[in-house]
Amino acid sequence: MSAPVFFIRGYIGEGRNTSASVSGFLAMHASEAVDIIVNSPGGDALEGAAILAEIEAHGRARCIVRGVAASSASLLICGASKIVMHRAAYMMLHLPWTMTVGDSEAHRKAAELLEKVGRTDAEVYATSSGQPLSRVKTWLAQELWLDAKESVALGFADLIEESGQGESPAKHDYSAHSGAPSALMRLAQENGWVAEPPKSKMETSNA
């Protein structure tokens, strides 16, 4: 019998891509192993962290990346009992960023929050992957893009899904990321995603 499945597709924090929706699904299958299919460019950093906590608390959730798990989407999968990457999928980790409107104090508070989120994210990635914290911090500052083989080799994923059905990466302006794979940048150009305005409250690098 196949495991119950929950889909996270698109921006974190939008539609059903919320901790409340994930929590509800996991509560209905509290004693079962479940699969969470992820194809997301990221989104709300704090919402991604909340989803991670829900997945981690369940204890029997496998996350399968098909398409892309970038920013906060790459963070939330760290709560899974097993992380599987489709052979054509990508993962991205980076430092959190946001847009702030207000006076100097508002910008200072936003910067302090970003630094806190960045430190927490780095610790999560280091624990999940087994990589040294200092190395993870360097990768986050540089914006790290990984294919399936690299994700497994560096400990950010456990297995490569060779026969599963892949998905086209989620809609996003990948050209906004200088280190994004050329295939993703080309996809954004071909589909007219480049001019799309920001969708999230805070993108984390992770998200």
**pLDDT average, residue stretch 191-200:** 68
**pLDDT single digits (tens) 35-86:** 999 999 999 989 999 999 999 999 999 999 999 999 999 999 999 999 999 9
State the pLDDT at residue 29: 97
Q: Residue 201 pLDDT more than 60?
A: no
Q: What are the DSSP E strand ranges found in the chain? A: 5-9, 34-40, 61-70, 82-86, 90-93, 97-98, 144-147, 159-161, 202-203
13 CB-near residues (< 8 Å, 6+ apart):
43, 44, 47, 48, 200, 201
What percentage of the chain has pLDDT greater than the value 70?
87
Q: What is the secondary structure of 22-35 as a DSSP string?
A: HHHHHHHTTTS-EE
pLDDT of 18 over the 60 cut? yes
Q: Could you tell me the pLDDT band of residue 116, with boundaries at 50, 70 and 90?
A: confident
Q: What is the chain's length?
A: 207
pTM over 0.75: yes
pLDDT at 207: 43
pLDDT at 162: 84
- DSSP state letters, 152-185: HHTTS-SEEESSSPP-PPPS--GGGSTTS-HHHH
Residue at token pair 């009992």: 81
pLDDT > 90 in the chain, percent: 72
The pLDDT of residue 102 is 75
Report which residue type is found at 46: L
Other C-beta atoms within 10 Å of 197: how many? 5
pLDDT band at 103 (very low <50, low <70, confident <90, very high): confident
Query: Rg for the chain (alpha carbons), in Å?
Result: 16
Whether the pLDDT of residue 115 is over 90: the answer is: no
Q: Residue 90 pLDDT more than 80?
A: yes
Per-residue confidence (pLDDT) for residue 52, from 0 to 100: 97
Query: Class for domain 5-203, per CATH?
Result: alpha beta
- Give pLDDT tens digits for 126-149: 999 999 999 999 999 999 999 999
Query: Residue 108 — pLDDT band, cuts 50, 70, 90?
Result: confident
